[in-house]
Amino acid sequence: MWPTIRVIDNFLDPTELKTVTGKVGAARFVDGRVSADGGSAEVKNNQEMASEQQYVEVVKIVDRAVRANLDLNNSVFPRSITRAIISRYEDGMAYGTHIDSPIMGFTVQNEAYGPFGQNYVRSDFSMTVFLAEPDTYDGGELSFGSPWGTHTYKLPAGSAVAYPTGLPHQVTPVTRGVRLAAVLWLQSMIRDHEQRRLASQLNLLATRLESTEAGSANAQLARELAATALRINADI
């Protein structure tokens, strides 16, 4: 089955992670409900990094990591992304079951949205980048419930999970330590899941053939097909 929830190991490299955790560790945090909308405010109990200078620098690092990540680029085809929210959960904090908003703004705390529709992202994918090592806190799992069972993620610091926005999920209560994460939303160049899958799989096939039979007619054909699928479907 096509993996709808994907894990990206080492999304931040050790140097980026160290810089980020240093800045996050020294930051001021505010009530996370400032960025909640729809029904999520009632179930959201966390904190988020205040939009000060350190925050802007952390956002830039996360932003660069998205742009540099080949796996993400070849499966999600990011068109635009929101600024990451840097969240913090202390003992007793949680984010109850909710779905994320289908439209996200680029707004930061205390800053107004632009004219309607401008600077908005259709949230095709939600992403969590874990920023604290799993053994430093208890609970704080990102958990998806479905009729087929529950899937939980609690990844090493620097690793990430990306999933289609719209899946119900929660962050389970933290019962020891502090959970830190960066969360962001991505709009894909390819809106339709099956078309995106086609473009992604053709790209994978081309990449494989280029490594096993570089320069062959089949490798060239696969690369052409991958390019065509992307050109047909990409909205820029």
Q: Is 48 in the site for Fe ion (CB under 5 A)?
A: no
Q: Is 141 in the site for ligand AKG (CB under 6 A)?
A: no
Binding mask 92-111 for Fe ion (x = CB under 5 A): --------x-----------
Check: CB of residue 33 under 8 Å from CB of residue 44: yes
In angstroms, what CA-CA distances link 88 with 151, 158, 171, 186? 22, 15, 11, 21
Question: How many positions of this chain bind ligand AKG (CB under 6 A)?
Answer: 9
Q: Which of 21, 51, 69, 87 binds ligand AKG (CB under 6 A)?
A: 87
- Smallest distance from Fe ion to CB 236, Å: 27
171 binds, among ligand AKG, Fe ion, none (CB under 5 to 8 A by kind): ligand AKG
- 5: number of Cβ within 10 Å: 14
- Smallest distance from ligand AKG to CB 20, Å: 15
128 binds, among ligand AKG, Fe ion, none (CB under 5 to 8 A by kind): ligand AKG
Beta bridge partners of 233: none
CA distance 102 to 65: 23
Q: Is 48 in the site for ligand AKG (CB under 6 A)?
A: no
Q: Is 95 in the site for ligand AKG (CB under 6 A)?
A: yes
Q: Is 141 in the site for Fe ion (CB under 5 A)?
A: no
C-beta of 97 vs 175, nearer to Fe ion: 97
Binding mask 180-199 for ligand AKG (x = CB under 6 A): -x-x----------------
- List the strands of the sheet with 94-98, edge to edge: 44-45, 94-98, 169-171, 142-146, 149-153
Q: Is 83 in the site for ligand AKG (CB under 6 A)?
A: no
Q: Give per-residue burial for 95-108: e unless 16+ CB within 10 Å, then b.
A: beebebbeebbebb
Assign 3-class secondary structure to 31-89: EHHHHCCCCHHHHEECEEECCCHHHHHHHHHHHHHHHHCHHHHHHCCEEEECCCEEEEE
Catalog residues that contact ligand AKG under the rule CB under 6 A.
87, 95, 100, 128, 142, 169, 171, 181, 183
Catalog residues that contact Fe ion under the rule CB under 5 A.
100
